[in-house]
Amino acid sequence: MPKELKYAVGLDIAKDQFDACLAVIDENQKITVKSTKSGIANSSKGFDGLLEWTKKHLRDEVPLVFCMEATGIYYEQLAWFLHQQGQIISVLVPNKTRNYLKSLGIRTKNDKTDARGLATMACQQDLKPWHPLSNEIYELRQLTRYYEQLQNTRTMLRNQLQTMLCGRLENKDVAAGLKELLSSVETQIESTAGLIEKTVRKDPVLCRKIEDINSIKGLGLISIATVIAETDGFALFENIAQLVSYCGYDVTQNQSGKREGKTKISKMGNSRIRRILFLPAFSVVRYDIAPFNSLFNRVYDRTKIKMKAYVAVQRKLLILIYTLWRKNERFNYPLYPERGLGCSLSGKTPMHA
């Protein structure tokens, strides 16, 4: 009987439950599915049951790895539980898993096939182990998402109030109520911005990294914190291409023979990151900061479409944030003086950019 080299459990996780597939690879590189389990509760009771089910099929001397996708926040509780139990975990961005399944010729997509694909992938590849991030980054994600919701609510209330004031008949009671709600939301926005800064300052390493990125004129604390929070501090990305694809900035072409269709970004990734980089892209071009201004002019000269040029600048900003974060470096721009983290909140530079 061939020697077994590694066990892998693929986990396809949803909000209330998840599916699991246990596979093993042997010295002949043959992958065998040992067992599958469906409908496991995404709760502490289900997590205990998962470990008991896994141990029934294991050999103690053979290593084991759990593999799952970063699907929203639904995977986090299980990942934390397995980490506390001393298990090896790999968390993958969905695009990486999808491309792997396509390479195997798997066209069907459901919970069972996804779990099996993750198990197969973990058996074949030496995946990067997952480690939990600091509590500050998780707090940042909650705060930045709440901040975004508050901004959307403020925009909605402003539009409703403007519609009423411009209409034929103004109901003073309704207008007063909208103004009161708008004032409350404005107060919460200001308070949440302060909480974001306070959370960043609690972690010295996080604070230093964000201050380095904040050296880019036109890029504010809220924008940086949102990108860091939505990418989990770039922990899941091995290269720039994965990050660009995760954020939906990867370019898709529509060409066949002599026909040339439109070339555009996929927009299949994290929309929050694209939304938060929208205004900073305008700012860095307005401030004439290299290399963003030259990129904007080059794309605009070629396409004559300003929005395409600004999207290219957004992508460039994202890559620069990733690079500065990984290399622990500041953005050196000779025409712009050094500035600290407090500038984003205390001054009139674009805090919301």
- 200 Cβ partners below 8 Å, 6+ apart? 136, 140, 206, 207, 210, 221, 225, 341
State the chain's maximal CA–CA distance in angstroms.
85
155/285 same-domain check = yes
Task: Please check whether residue 265 lies inside any domain of the structure.
Answer: yes
Give the residue-averaged pLDDT of 160-167. 86
Task: Please check whether residue 104 lies inside any domain of the structure.
Answer: yes
Task: Please check whether residue 353 lies inside any domain of the structure.
Answer: no
- 129 Cβ partners below 8 Å, 6+ apart? 88, 89, 90
Task: Please check whether residue 155 lies inside any domain of the structure.
Answer: yes
Cβ 330 vs Cβ 212: under 8 Å: yes
The reported pLDDT for the residue numbered 236 is 80
Minimum mean pLDDT among 50-54, 219-223, 256-260: which range?
A: 256-260
Mean pLDDT of the chain: 87
The reported pLDDT for the residue numbered 257 is 59
Tokens standing for 116? 């099996």
Residue 96's CATH number: 3.30.420.10
Cβ 274 vs Cβ 314: under 8 Å: yes
Cβ 224 vs Cβ 213: under 8 Å: yes
Give the residue-averaged pLDDT of 206-222. 92
117/202 same-domain check = no
199/289 same-domain check = yes
The reported pLDDT for the residue numbered 261 is 60
Give the residue-averaged pLDDT of 25-38. 92
- Give the number of domains in the chain: 2
Tokens standing for 117? 């694909």
66/141 same-domain check = no
User: Which residue is listed with tokens 């709760």?
Assistant: 43
Task: Please check whether residue 131 lies inside any domain of the structure.
Answer: no
Compute the half-sphere exposure of residue 238: CA atoms within 13 Å on the CB side of its CA: 11
Categorize the per-residue pLDDT at 251 as very low, low, confident or very high, splitting at 50, 70 and 90: confident
182/40 same-domain check = no
Residue 340 has pLDDT above 70, yes or no: no
Beta strand pairing status for 255-256 and 259-260? antiparallel
Cβ 231 vs Cβ 246: under 8 Å: yes
**Distance between CA 291 and CA 295 in Å, rounded?**
6
Beta strand pairing status for 88-92 and 64-69? parallel
Long-range contacts of range 328-333, CB-CB < 8 Å, 24 or more positions apart? 328/208, 328/209, 328/212, 329/212, 330/212, 330/215, 331/212, 331/213, 331/215, 331/216, 332/215, 333/215, 333/216, 333/217, 333/289, 333/290
- Pick the last residue of a domain from 75, 100, 124: 124
The reported pLDDT for the residue numbered 254 is 60
**Distance between CA 303 and CA 107 in Å, rounded?**
36
- Pick the last residue of a domain from 92, 124, 156: 124
- Pick the last residue of a domain from 85, 103, 124: 124
The reported pLDDT for the residue numbered 255 is 55
pLDDT in tens, 296-316: 999 999 999 999 999 999 999
60/140 same-domain check = no
The reported pLDDT for the residue numbered 349 is 38
Task: Please check whether residue 269 lies inside any domain of the structure.
Answer: yes
The reported pLDDT for the residue numbered 258 is 61
257/293 same-domain check = yes
- 181 Cβ partners below 8 Å, 6+ apart? 157
101/163 same-domain check = no
44/75 same-domain check = yes
Minimum mean pLDDT among 63-67, 264-268, 322-326: which range?
A: 264-268
The reported pLDDT for the residue numbered 232 is 86
112/154 same-domain check = no
Task: Please check whether residue 220 lies inside any domain of the structure.
Answer: yes
pLDDT in tens, 61-120: 889 999 999 877 889 899 999 999 999 999 988 878 888 888 877 767 788 888 999 999
Residue 132 has pLDDT above 50, yes or no: yes
* Three-state DSSP class for residue 179: helix
Q: Is 263 or 208 the better-scoring residue by pLDDT?
A: 208
Residue 38 has pLDDT above 90, yes or no: yes
The reported pLDDT for the residue numbered 200 is 93
148/266 same-domain check = yes
86/206 same-domain check = no
What DSSP character marks residue 238? S
Give the residue-averaged pLDDT of 184-188. 97
Edge-to-edge strand list for the sheet holding 17-26: 31-41, 17-26, 4-13, 64-69, 88-92
The reported pLDDT for the residue numbered 260 is 63
Q: Is 352 or 322 the better-scoring residue by pLDDT?
A: 322
| Domain around 89 | 4-124
Residue 253 has pLDDT above 70, yes or no: no
Task: Please check whether residue 91 lies inside any domain of the structure.
Answer: yes
